[in-house]
Amino acid sequence: MRVGFGYDSHRLVEGRRLVLGGVEIPYHKGLLGHSDGDALVHAITDAVIGALGLGDIGRHFPDTDMTWKDASSVMMLKHIVGLVRANGFEVSWVDCTVIAEEPKLAPYMERMEEAVSASGIPHGAINIKAKTNEGMGFTGRGEGVAAYAVCLLRKL
Ligand code: MG
């Protein structure tokens, strides 16, 4: 078995869609990024890449690659899940925490788990949690959203 850890953060700005866990969430700001800025899916992706021992998300999806400009991050994760199978592993479990002061994410947890499973990670193998940061730090001030993820891969 292999474990991987992932972290990501993106800045909240006016004029962008807010996409988290592959779900578009109504809010007056969205996450800035080369892709859709989905910090949660990026953290999951880095956790899976880490468990594979294949570097990091920037190596697989460089900002200079226009293929992934405004791309769905779930599709980027799907590409990495393809590498999991190609390397003889399967995703056994993903657990993650997304930190956002606003908006309230609890109503979207189930839809996020379903949307992330479009990557090929089994629906029953994903757990998503959401927290505020109690007003502290950049997440607490609403300047951005952060996410942490761990992934367990099992050798087939
Ligand atoms: Mg990112």
Give the DSSP H/E element, type plus range, for residue 57: helix 57-60
In angstroms, rounded to a whole number, what is the distance separating the alpha carbons of residues 152 and 51? Answer: 7
**Residue-range domains of the chain with CATH:** 2-155 (3.30.1330.50)
Q: Which residue numbers in the chain have pLDDT < 70?
A: none
Helix (H, G, I), strand (E, B) or coil at 73: helix
What distance in angstroms lies between residue 91's CA and the mean position of ligand 1's atoms? 21
What distance in angstroms lies between residue 7's CA and the mean position of ligand 1's atoms? 9
Helix (H, G, I), strand (E, B) or coil at 22: coil
In angstroms, rounded to a whole number, what is the distance separating the alpha carbons of residues 148 and 155? Answer: 23
Give the global pTM. 0.97
pLDDT at res. 69: 85
What distance in angstroms lies between residue 154's CA and the mean position of ligand 1's atoms? 25
pLDDT at res. 50: 98
